[in-house]
Copies of this chain bind each other. A is one copy, B any other.
Amino acid sequence: MTRMPFCLAIAAAFFTSAAVSDPLPSWNDGETKTAIVEFVDSVTDPDADTYVPERDRIAVFDNDGTLWAEQPAYFQVLYALDILKEKAAADPSILTSDVLRAANDGDMEGMMANGLEGLLEIINISHSGITAEDFKASAHEWLTTTPHPTMGMEYAAMTYQPMVELLRYLRDEDFKTYIVSGGGIDFIRAISHEAYGIPPWQVVGSEGNASYSAESGTPTITKDGGISFVDDKEGKPVGIMSHIGQRPILAGGNSDGDFAMLEWTTAGEGPRFGLLIHHTDAEREFAYDREGHIGVLNRGLDEAAERGWTLVDMKQDWSRVWTGASE
């Protein structure tokens, strides 16, 4: 694999294809690419019955496993673990529970023993008692300097080049592109503009409690820990309605956590597009679908065809996977 520094990868992702006529150079010719281009043509042709005015051209995408990788664990969880270890090295007294001690020792089984509740305990260590600005700076630094455990690239370089191209293509056709993620909204916002060209106000995600205070003399918004909104499964349409206020016409995801979002999006009137990324490429990326603890895709695989959703076969449809590598 030929790796590039993240900054170069970003520059390449955004600028290399601008001069050529194919808006999706990392997509192989075939049914999938044709379906995407035909959909975009159909909604942007002012003479077509299927024309959609610019203000209704809203496209939403899941993040983990759809725009960047999610194996062997969500990047946000790996970040939380790194910060936990860093903090515990400086002050071991923060390890106040079995779950936190297991996480610090790299004991995955012990770490998962309390399920979601335990994971939230770990996440709270890095995600609370910090201003939103400082949190984003910390996440940004980690994402752009830490190598992924198996791929070796910085996490921020592990976006999917074909999806970065798709986002840019849609924006060139006057779509608004949103991220709608089960991950934390502030974590994604730390990198979304740099990695995807998506500004913070077009990121929807799970949210923690936060509060405003000016008592210190400096008006500050602090992350207080705990979860105020879970933007996953049936929560995704609700999060979209809260942040965007209207139904998108295109939705992309990769797991059954995205099913409701695709279902709601494609149930609207007029032309609609549902896209599911199928992780089929064990060599260049990771191969998984119906089983595992992350990105499980069962119902989506079963129902994509009858619902008219386009299934992306990563191995077959993408000539290049990574923004941060040439393959």
Contact = CB atoms under 8 A, between A and B. Distances in A.
A237 B212 contact: yes
Contacts of A201: 176, 201, 243-246
A242 interface: yes
Q: Name the interface size band of chain A.
A: 35 or more
Contact of A264 (B203, B221, B267): B221
B200 A242 contact: no
Contacts of A21: none
A285 interface: no
Interface in A199-215: 199-201, 203, 207, 210-214
A229 B207 CA distance: 12
A235 B210 CA distance: 9
B264 A219 contact: yes
Contacts of A245: 185-186, 189, 199-201, 203
A251 to B, nearest CB: 12
A326 to B, nearest CB: 30
Nearest to A235: B212
A232 to B, nearest CB: 11
Contacts of A237: 212, 219, 221
A244 B219 CA distance: 17
A105 interface: no
Contacts of A238: 210-212, 221
A210 B241 contact: yes
A234 interface: yes
Given A201-B244, A207-B242, A212-B236, 6 more contacts: A203-B245, A210-B241, A210-B242, A211-B238, A212-B235, A218-B267
20 contacts: A55-B199, A132-B241, A185-B245, A186-B245, A200-B246, A201-B243, A201-B245, A201-B246, A207-B242, A210-B242, A211-B234, A211-B238, A212-B234, A212-B238, A212-B260, A219-B260, A219-B263, A219-B264, A219-B267, A228-B229
Interface of A: 55, 132, 176, 185-186, 189, 199-201, 203, 207, 210-214, 218-219, 221, 228-229, 234-238, 241-246, 260, 263-264, 267
